[in-house]
Chain A
């Protein structure tokens, strides 16, 4: 049995146990042995759904790449500070250059991205255009709101997507604003508190104009300052992602 198939059966066994079925019944219905059903149930009791699947085989991506303390300090200071002039946030290339200038340490962009992944900062762009074919809330939202906006901003360079989120970091208070530009290139800024209206203004003011931004994670309509500022922008359109349409942070 492949690890994926085994994990599915383990989850099914836990669901059966949650519904009140005995280990014997769960074992019979899933084809797993009784000790495996008990082990899956115990894992669920102790660690939730995340603990039910068996451990992945092999090493995880980037496991062997660890940055030194000095490099990490430089990276965190940069992320919490202002990005280079004219950029909406820090890119992996800009961070690699900074570490090179400050410490004389040559890092690849991949090394920075691995570090982002380790710290929970990496974010993948949504496949917005794929929503056009979906008959879901997200599909209808794309058709009614995003597609008309994008038709006004035809170039891929003008279309951005991003959001704000709190990152559950073990050592830091960490709020991240992320933006994906053309071809999904990732830019980010970090804050120790939830970003305020002027923080968002600073991010959007640094975008090359004209620009349309599909943005997730903030209720801009509650901020009069931001609403008025956005109304005055003639070459910037910000489209807020509605709650619970499946476009969440990933």
Chain B
């Protein structure tokens, strides 16, 4: 009997989770944030249901502040794969022109991401949503189950989670309740990169080091992605060789200086790094346990 490598075991587990969701729920959807975890999740979904396309649409909750390269990549991928792509932008946020600069990261995230996601799930009646969160990203994600149950108001109760012994998932839920499902829960950032390398999965070029215009904000390197980025008086962005370990809204995502412009170089960098990729996310530093609060309010 041949034994599976750890990546093959993770792949098999994720595929089993996806098939379980499709079998047990009525209207699933895959949250597609265009990042590397989404890329892996999408690849796994295509494998899980091949030769048919995955039997659920992709949902991108857009904030209007993602990197331009992400929008280009998202549209290219949707076209290539032939899956339905639903893009939802919170219309109330658009009306009030919510943005990370004048309203701050907390309000921007709450209105454009959390509320936007809840609106989209309600609007289309999705009862299960795949997300690409991993346990190694952040402490509140570490304790969340693979099948994370949400109330009709999309709230998460971290003290009331179901056991998942022997990878048996209890999918029973009350009407109007929904499930956030995290097939990549047990993957690490290094696993993701190795899998991308081995399976040759396309990812947004921002993950590779390149010279990009950046400014420093509270110790973080923020890329000047378009002319909406307000500069300090007299400030001139510097071109520095940077890459992103995580991708979100560009004013809230810190770059890291790096020479890693190939996948092996990124993997090697991962082997040496001691910090979580979410160190680069401004929204995670709002307050103590801010991610847990956001998750309780419905953030994915």
Contact = CB atoms under 8 A, between A and B. Distances in A.
Interface in B262-292: 264-265, 267-269, 271-272
Interface residues of B, number: 26
Contacts of A220: 236
A195 B236 contact: yes
A44 B235 contact: no
Contact of A166 (B212, B238, B268, B271): B238
Interface in B190-232: 198, 210-213, 215-216, 224, 227, 231
A219 B264 contact: no
Contacts of A218: 236-239
Interface in B148-170: none
B82 interface: no
A222 B238 contact: no
B224 A15 contact: no
How extensive is the interface on chain A, given as a class? 20 to 34
A200 B264 CA distance: 38
Residue of A49, A200, A222 ringed by the most chain B CB atoms within 10 A: A222
Contacts of A222: 213, 224, 227, 231, 236-237
A87 to B, nearest CB: 22
B234 A164 contact: no
Interface of B: 198, 210-213, 215-216, 224, 227, 231, 234-241, 257, 264-265, 267-269, 271-272
Interface of A: 15, 18, 20, 44-49, 164-166, 168, 175, 194-198, 200, 216-220, 222-223, 225-226, 243-244, 248
Given A18-B264, A198-B234, 7 more contacts: A48-B272, A219-B224, A219-B237, A222-B227, A222-B231, A222-B237, A243-B210
Leading 3 A-B pairs by shortest Cβ distance = A243-B211, A196-B234, A219-B213
